[in-house]
A and B are shown apart, each in its own frame.
Chain A
Amino acid sequence: MCALNVAVIIKLEPDFSEGNVSYNPDGTLNRAETKNTLGPHSAIAAHAAFYAKVMYDAKVSIGTMGPPIADLALQQAQQISDAEELHLYSDRLFAGADTLGTAEVLKTGIGKMQGKMDIVFSGHRASDGETGQTGPQTGWKLGFTFLGNVISYSVDLETRTIRVKRLISLLGVPVVIEEVEAPLPVFISIDPTYKSSFDTISQRLSFQKYQKEASERVENYKEHFKVFNAEQLGVDKTLVGLPGSPTIVYKVEKVPKPTATRQAEMIDGSNPEQIKKVVARMKEALSAMVIK
């Protein structure tokens, strides 16, 4: 039996890297032309799970809700985390869900994973939706203690407790790092600045061993991969998809062009005389500074 069971919930998202992303002339995302990939925050969550693998020999499971092509994200996350269990929750009934309807599916899916979960990780937020709600909502539905903005963690396997550092950044007050302790199980939403560090030789050896194992598993990922539809999950159909979603997108509109707040003076960037003038104006603007 594994000392620790961890799960990660991930998301397939538009790939915002140059060459893969496509924007419409008006600056909006061209979804049809944009490729998909494992979301960057999901990737960080997978790294955090891999840390548990290296440090505590944890068993890693991954779950995602999405269309069949979302198995791409599962494979990418498996490569990072050496997961031995990959779940795709996919059903037309789930389509159009808001974060609450999504959390219901993920909660039910996590319940179908092998072993009782000790830690569930999610990314900070998705790059496309950007709500950051699905993680904490899933955690609350699981009845787990929720810990957000986590930048590092350590587990005490004896006492079954976790210590985490959280980055709390609020507008207008200094940034605070808060250290807290909680008994397992917990749900962690991982901060974008999280980085695993492996300091000892034995940790580095485990790191290499499990990285190799991850590559082998990805090659045979179908052996680890399982798809669940609504029936197989046994979800309450009124709590998922559109019926289980309190919110709807009512309309999407272009942000109206604001009236000009400043009257810009046009400068030809190839004309050194004009650039000279710009710098003189900049100097004027900074005149309250100490300038000699």
Chain B
Amino acid sequence: MTENYRHLYVVIEHIDGEFLQVSLEMIGEARRLLDEFNSKYSSNEKVVAVILGYNIKDISKQLIEYGADVVIYSDNPELKDVRNTIHTKVISQIAQDKKTLGEVEPEYASEVKRPRYMFFAADSIGRHLSSTVLTELESGLASDINKLVIEDIEMSHQQKTGGIKETYAKTLEMYRPDFSGFLWTTILCLDNRNPAFKRDYHPQACSIIPGVFEPLKRDSKKEGKIIEFIPKIDEKDLRVKVLSRKIIQSEVDFDTPRTIVSFGRGIKDDPEQNIKIVEQLAKELNAEIGITLPISKKPFSVSQALDSKYMTPDRVIGTSGHKTSAMLYIAAGVSGAMQHVWGMKDSGFVVAINPDEDAPIKNECDIFIKGRMEDVIPMLIEEIKKQIHIIEA
């Protein structure tokens, strides 16, 4: 059977030649998925890393060592900074270029038209780039994925198949946690086989949450193919000029402090007062304050000072925010949704304060203090004052 779509393309992110960790994580997951795929379907499809930049030729080889079979790179001064328009154009060219596709796997050169799957990072770069590339390619995209499975799916769908039972072979099941963290939604990107509006939707693409998947160990002996793609650059796609780039110090620091105190919707009985006691507890322990994702949506009205200081996205611990490996993590009024747990599970010692014994956080802590935060925290503070004296570094 002719297959017009082959391989898994991973769009690599890097800063001046330094790979972002998520890029290596995506290659790791791509490798695991395709190894299974190739053995299941007796196939030889490739993990293809796509990298754009300037003076990047030398680092391309490393992507092979981290698990890619093939690297396609475009090296051009105009690609030094990530600018959405030109990056979208070049990635889209690479995904559709017959010659390059042919070089990836010469024996299928005559039939392959586009990648089968495509991965981007779900971050400040990849989130938007994936959106615009998949609009250019007119195909489907799922965002913020943390689990991937490839399956043959038999289904009858009113729109997609016109109600007839069809098998969608080699379909990427893309799992994304919803905003509550308690539901998993599986997204599929499927061709329309309904005779009324037949249309192919490939590649099947997604953006992947950084920090979720494991990168592979680097293997300097691994061999692979490196292909240069010379992009067609149109002047009108270069209209954005980067004037400056400045590193800023975030006001919130989850890396340095040994202790993090987080709060969640458990503050609800008296949000203003409860945030204040969390503040006191954090002060005693010289800790940074974190929040859960629902708190960043400002579900409670509190004074402007507390609102703008704490109910902000940059304080979120979890898949939509930061990951911490604090020595001591105190979760006050936090239920323990999957996405939050991801952000704190590497902490050393975890204390949870919660009136609900069945809260999932109980499975993720070393000590579970059953009680309301407003009752427990003042007692903790009292005792900390007696026992712990922290000298600020």
Contacts and interface: CB of A to CB of B under 8 A. Distances in A.
A253 interface: yes
B305 interface: no
Contacts of A145: 84-85, 239-240
Given A246-B140, A289-B327, A192 B384 contact: no
Contacts of A26: 182
Interface in B147-163: 153, 157-160
Contact of B245 (A98, A178, A238, A264): A178
Contacts of B353: 269
Contacts of B243: 163, 179-181
B240 A182 contact: yes
A133 interface: yes
Interface in A204-244: 238, 242-243
B327 A288 contact: yes
B16 to A, nearest CB: 10
B258 A289 contact: yes
B100 interface: no
A266 B365 contact: no
B299 interface: yes
B380 A275 contact: yes
Interface in B182-230: 182-190, 192, 194, 196-197, 199, 201, 210-211
B60 interface: no
Contact of A132 (B127, B134, B349): B127
Q: How large is the interface on A (under 10, 10 to 19, 20 to 34, 35 or more residues)?
A: 35 or more
A278 B345 contact: no
Contacts of B5: none
B312 A193 contact: yes
A141 B138 CA distance: 10
Interface in B345-359: 345, 348-353, 357
B186 A180 contact: no
Interface residues on B, range: 35 or more
A48 to B, nearest CB: 17
Contact of B328 (A40, A131, A180, A286): A286
B140 A100 contact: yes
Contacts of B201: 246-247
Interface in A252-266: 252-255, 257-266
A153 interface: no
Given A262-B350, A266-B368, A168 B384 contact: no
B91 interface: no
A255 B173 contact: no
A199 interface: no
Given A247-B142, A286-B259, A261 B363 contact: yes
Interface stretch (A13-21, A49-57, A61-69, A76-84): A13-21
Nearest to A265: B367
A170 to B, nearest CB: 5
Interface string B357-390: 1001011111111111001100110011011111
B375 to A, nearest CB: 6
B365 A264 contact: yes
A181 B389 contact: no
Nearest to A170: B123
Contacts of A179: 242-246
A99 B187 CA distance: 12
Contacts of A168: 124-125
A133 B372 contact: no
Nearest to B372: A269
Contacts of A32: none
Interface of B: 13, 15, 18, 20-22, 81, 83-85, 88, 123-125, 127-128, 130-132, 134-136, 138-144, 153, 157-160, 173, 177-190, 192, 194, 196-197, 199, 201, 210-211, 239-250, 258-259, 268, 271, 294, 297-301, 312-314, 320, 323, 327-328, 335, 337-338, 341, 345, 348-353, 357, 360, 362-372, 375-376, 379-380, 383-384, 386-391, 393
9 contacts: A18-B271, A27-B337, A100-B138, A132-B143, A175-B247, A247-B142, A250-B188, A252-B183, A261-B364
Given A243-B197, A269-B353, 8 more contacts: A96-B159, A130-B320, A170-B124, A171-B123, A193-B313, A262-B365, A264-B366, A276-B383
- The 5 A-B pairs at the shortest CB distance, nearest first, are namely A269-B371, A246-B140, A285-B349, A246-B201, A136-B131
Interface of A: 16-18, 21, 23, 26-29, 40, 96, 98-100, 103, 127-128, 130-133, 135-137, 139-141, 145-149, 163, 167-183, 189, 192-193, 238, 242-243, 245-255, 257-270, 272, 275-276, 278-283, 285-286, 288-292
